[in-house]
Amino acid sequence: MDLRESMVTEMLRRNDRSKWSSYSNHNIKCFAEGEIRGITSNYETIIGKGGFGQVIHGDIKPANILLDDNFNAKISDFGISRFVNTESALFTDHVIGSIGYMDPLFVRSGRLTSKSDVYSFGIILVELITKKKATVRNGETNIVECFTQALATGKRRVRELFDVEISSRNNMKILEGVAKLAGQCLKMEMDGRPEMRDVTIGFSIK
């Protein structure tokens, strides 16, 4: 008898290419809430803390976040996930992940924790409100650097980075809420970043 374990998941029709162009000025609220609540709840259910340890995904990026027809997000691709003790982080000399989405603290020190996944999630939120990719080619501007610099400057500068197609007056509160959350996730000090389970609690759109 073959006793190997396997994971069975539902089929999700929306892929990485379609989801970034499928939301508009009219459904940004639905998209943002579905993305944030879906990712965080799915993260806690699948790879959150368990009785013996914790799984760190290690490669949170848009291509690994799938959406159903109602914009509910699901995390996929656990190929480089790591299991660590609940009270410790993982230290490694073998730094792997996706360029543009890795926690710079992990890249520099090899220290990987769940807060590294939170940082990557913050990058996804920046992409959500700017509709720009975090990966940088020759001569392109790094949108994450622009965003963090804008946060230090003030709300007006942050607003200038919002994608024009979704930055209507009616959506401004939503976009600013996502931007605030992204700023918390992108803090350079790990202790300043929220736990993934706390992200949804801190994000509320009326």
Out of 2, 59, 68, 191, the active site residue is 59
What does the pLDDT look like over 107-135, one tens digit per residue? 888 888 888 889 998 998 999 889 888 87
Dihedral pair phi/psi, residue 163, rounded to 5°: -60, 135
DSSP 86-126: TT--EE-S---S-TTTS-HHHHHH-EE-HHHHHHHHHHHHH
Dihedral pair phi/psi, residue 49, rounded to 5°: -70, 135
Helices (H), 48-186: 104-109, 114-130, 143-153, 155-159, 172-185
CA pair distance 160, 183, nearest whole angstrom: 15
Please indicate whether residue 59 is annotated as part of the active site: yes
Q: Domain 16-196, what architecture?
A: Orthogonal Bundle (1.10)
Confidence band, pLDDT 50/70/90 cuts, at residue 151: very high
| For range 136-142, the mean pLDDT | 73
What does the pLDDT look like over 153-194, one tens digit per residue? 988 999 999 988 888 888 888 889 889 999 999 999 989 998
Amino acid 30: pLDDT: 64
Residue with the larger pLDDT of the pair 135 and 11: 135
The residue among 36, 25, 34 whose CA lies nearest residue 118 is 36
CA pair distance 95, 108, nearest whole angstrom: 9
Q: End-to-end alpha-carbon separation of the chain, Å?
A: 54
Q: Are 77 and 97 in contact (CB under 8 A)?
A: no
Q: Which two tokens stand for residue 193?
A: 């970043």
Q: Are 109 and 76 in contact (CB under 8 A)?
A: no
Q: pTM above 0.85?
A: no
Dihedral pair phi/psi, residue 137, rounded to 5°: -100, 175
| For range 45-69, the mean pLDDT | 67
CA pair distance 46, 104, nearest whole angstrom: 25
